[in-house]
């Protein structure tokens, strides 16, 4: 059985960042990265953005293999033996580890309704499939008005395709944006030619002559050729649970990113960590966290750990609009909106008990660190004091 001082389970951006940090921090310690995907690590955000706007596919690859990391691809780890320090894949092959990182990310939420025309969008292979279909004059349904649904609907529309969105909430991004912005975004999508059906989810699905007819919760039939689901993800925690690690909305880690079992770490979309600025535990499904936390986990595994205090930011592009955001974007909080141009350019603050918990920088750039500083303030801030604070 091969032994590696460092083993990483997962083949996403977190795994790549950890592998690189390990190589830098401990050049003599061999690193093995084991991924269920058949491709080496790549950036996911361009799959729903840049690649649809002409960016080359060659730009997504992380080049992990040339960083001196042993890659085992198309291998799904099915068991961890914490006593013997081994991980075993579905073919029965095992390696032993000194330190282990779980960077297993998340899997798209699925519906009980299955169809060959349904794509649960997450991977490069999903992108390739959808991209090939988008070259044909087909009609696409997008389920969900969150991050992935909104981005994919925009991408397909920009490719000139007919797109209908089924959005159970009454606006787009309704779980993160205040109601007025979420409604304005629906208008904006309609102006771009997307048919947005708010307040309607999927109730049923019937294949019919190569197409599929969606029955909406409003009782309407919507015939389409392809359905893309963007219904969020579930963290891949089964391995951790089976190994007896503490799991609670993700794999629970301490400030040094170690799980409840010494020598095993977790990072990225799958990890539940404490953020001191917010004074709360959180699990973040975004790129900045994958990169930063992955690298921090790598350094920690190599003995150069430091408390993970980073408050990650996230971003998205929606046609010509774009944003960056930090902290908790909970539309149930008190909202202070500071628009330079309503719903086109400005800053939205999310306050709880007078303290800033989240900041949405809408078509406003270069203010992420200033937004982090506001969230770190120990006391309340008045709405007046926030106006004009972060210039667009
Ligand atoms: C289309 C798309 C667009 C996005 N756009 C943005 C954006 O604009 N901004 C932003 O901030 N974030 C964005 N994100 C989110 C960001 O990409 C994720 O936060 C990031 O990819 C998480 O990385 P991860 O490595 O933690 O998890 P994942 O990317 O989920 O990777 C997990 C890896 O582990 C592997 N794996 C799981 N279980 C096992 C096992 N048992 N054995 C072996 N391998 C296993 C999986 O196959 C996968 O390779 C986007 C995500 C997607 C899908």
CB 203 within 8 A of CB 117: no
Q: Is 6 exposed, middle or buried (0-12, 13-18, 19+ CB in 10 A)?
A: buried
- Ligand 1, residues 16, 41, 44, 148: which to mutate, most atoms within 8 A of Cβ? 44
How far is residue 310 from each of residues 5, 124, 249, 294, measured CA to CA in Å?
A: 27, 28, 19, 12
Q: What is the tens place of the pLDDT at every residue in 53-98?
A: 999 999 999 999 999 999 999 999 999 999 999 999 999 999 999 9
- Rounded Cα distance, 335 and 145, in Å: 21
- In sequence order, which residues have a C-beta less than 8 Å from that of residue 280 and are 6 or more positions away? 274, 328
Amino acid 392: pLDDT: 67
3-class state of residue 80 by DSSP? strand
Question: Average pLDDT of the chain?
Answer: 96
Q: What is the tens place of the pLDDT at every residue in 323-370?
A: 999 999 999 999 999 999 999 999 999 999 999 999 999 999 999 999
Average pLDDT over residues 290-316: 97
Please give the model's pTM, rounded to 2 decimal places. Answer: 0.97
- Rounded Cα distance, 348 and 386, in Å: 10
In this structure, the residues whose C-beta lies within 6 A of any atom of ligand 1 are 9-15, 34-37, 44-45, 47-48, 76-77, 103-106, 121-122, 148, 236, 239, 268-269, 285-288, 290, 314-316
**Chain mean position to CA 348:** 22
- Ligand 1, residues 104, 109, 148: which to mutate, most atoms within 8 A of Cβ? 104
- In sequence order, which residues have a C-beta less than 8 Å from that of residue 98 and are 6 or more positions away? 3, 4, 5, 6, 29, 85, 263
Q: What is the tens place of the pLDDT at every residue in 103-137?
A: 999 999 999 877 888 999 999 999 999 999 999 99
3-class state of residue 112 by DSSP? coil
Amino acid 112: pLDDT: 87
CB 28 within 8 A of CB 306: no
Give the confidence band of 372 by pLDDT, cuts at 50, 70, 90. very high
- Rounded Cα distance, 120 and 143, in Å: 10
Amino acid 277: pLDDT: 92
Q: What is the tens place of the pLDDT at every residue in 27-49?
A: 999 999 999 999 999 999 999 99
CB 349 within 8 A of CB 384: no
Looking at residue 40, what DSSP letter applies?
P
């Amino acid at each position: 059985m091969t032994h590696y001082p460092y083993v990483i389970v997962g083949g996403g951006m977190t795994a790549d960042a950890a592998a690189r940090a390990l190589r830098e921090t401990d050049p003599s310690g061999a690193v093995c990265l084991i991924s269920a995907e058949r491709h080496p690590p790549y950036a996911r955000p361009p799959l729903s953005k840049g690649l649809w706007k002409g960016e080359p596919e060659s730009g997504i690859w992380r080049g992990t293999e040339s960083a001196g990391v042993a890659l085992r691809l198309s291998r799904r780890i099915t068991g961890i033996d914490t006593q013997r320090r081994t991980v075993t894949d579905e073919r029965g092959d095992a390696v032993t580890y000194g330190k282990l990182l779980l960077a297993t990310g998340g899997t798209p939420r699925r519906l009980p309704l299955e169809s060959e025309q349904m794509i649960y969008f997450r991977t490069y292979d999903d992108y390739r499939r959808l991209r090939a279909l988008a070259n044909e004059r087909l009609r696409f349904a997008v389920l969900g008005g969150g991050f992935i649904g909104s981005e994919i609907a925009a991408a397909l529309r920009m490719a000139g395709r007919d797109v209908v969105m089924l959005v159970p909430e009454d606006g787009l991004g309704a779980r993160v944006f205040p109601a007025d912005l979420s409604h304005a975004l629906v208008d904006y999508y309609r102006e771009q030619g997307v048919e947005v059906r708010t307040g309607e989810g999927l109730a049923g699905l019937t294949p019919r002559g190569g197409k599929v007819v969606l029955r909406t919760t409003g009782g309407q039939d919507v015939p389409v050729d392809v359905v893309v689901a963007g219904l969020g993800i579930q963290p891949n925690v089964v391995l951790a649970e089976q190994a007896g690690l503490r799991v609670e909305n993700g794999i629970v880690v301490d400030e040094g990113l170690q799980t409840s079992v010494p020598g095993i770490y977790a990072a990225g979309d799958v990890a539940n960590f404490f953020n001191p600025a917010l004074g709360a535990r959180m699990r973040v499904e975004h790129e900045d966290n994958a990169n930063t936390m992955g690298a921090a986990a790598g350094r920690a595994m190599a003995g150069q750990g430091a408390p993970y205090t980073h408050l990650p930011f996230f971003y998205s592009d929606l046609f010509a609009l774009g944003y960056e955001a930090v902290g908790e974007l909970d539309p149930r909080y008190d909202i202070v909106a500071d628009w330079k141009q309503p719903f086109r350019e400005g800053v939205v603050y999310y306050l709880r008990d007078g303290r800033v918990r989240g900041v949405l920088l809408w078509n406003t750039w270069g203010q992420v660190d200033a937004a982090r500083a506001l969230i770190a303030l120990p006391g309340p801030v008045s709405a007046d004091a926030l106006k004009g604070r972060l210039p667009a």
